[in-house]
Copies of this chain bind each other. A is one copy, B any other.
Amino acid sequence: MHAETAGFYAHQMRRLDEGDAEGWAATFTEDAVFRISSRRQPMRGRAELTAGARAASDAVAAAGERLRHMTGMLEIEELPDEQMLVRATTLVYATDASGGARLHQVCDCTDILVRTASAPRTFLVKDRRIDVLGHGPVPR
């Protein structure tokens, strides 16, 4: 289960890193709720998730940057009804057009995943809460 879950996060986060907003949103349930400490309002449902991911992705591209998410330290608890609580730590790195790389963010991630027969990579995120703990210094 740990291994399957690790594979799920690799697939999901890489969609985001590659700017595939629809592919990323498709890893959430239709009615998913996504809360991140840097936004006042949660995003709800795949249409909002797609729009949010596309806007974020466009901003990164416009800055000439690329992001790479490293999600790890998965702590998994089985819940009733084929659901799982997953706590994870995510490091986000940014690379720029001049060949620089830097730590962008350190985040805590708390998810409720559901097992769905039709899900790509076995799971879908039903509820996500991201706590952005800090941003790396931007080199001048």
Q: How many copies does the complex hold?
A: 3
Given contacts A3-B1, A74-B6, contact A101 B11 (CB under 8 A): no
B76 touches A7 (CB 8 A): yes
Shortest Cβ distance from residue A21 to the other chain B in the assembled complex, whole angstroms: 18
CB within 8 A of A103: which of B14, B75, B103, B105?
A: B103
B134 touches A99 (CB 8 A): yes
Contacts of A99 in B (CB 8 A): 134-135
Interchain nearest-CB distance for A73 vs B (Å): 4
Contacting pair A133 B74 (CB below 8 A) = no
Q: Contacts of A66 on B, CB cut-off 8 Å? A: 133
State whether B68 touches A71 (Cβ < 8 A): no
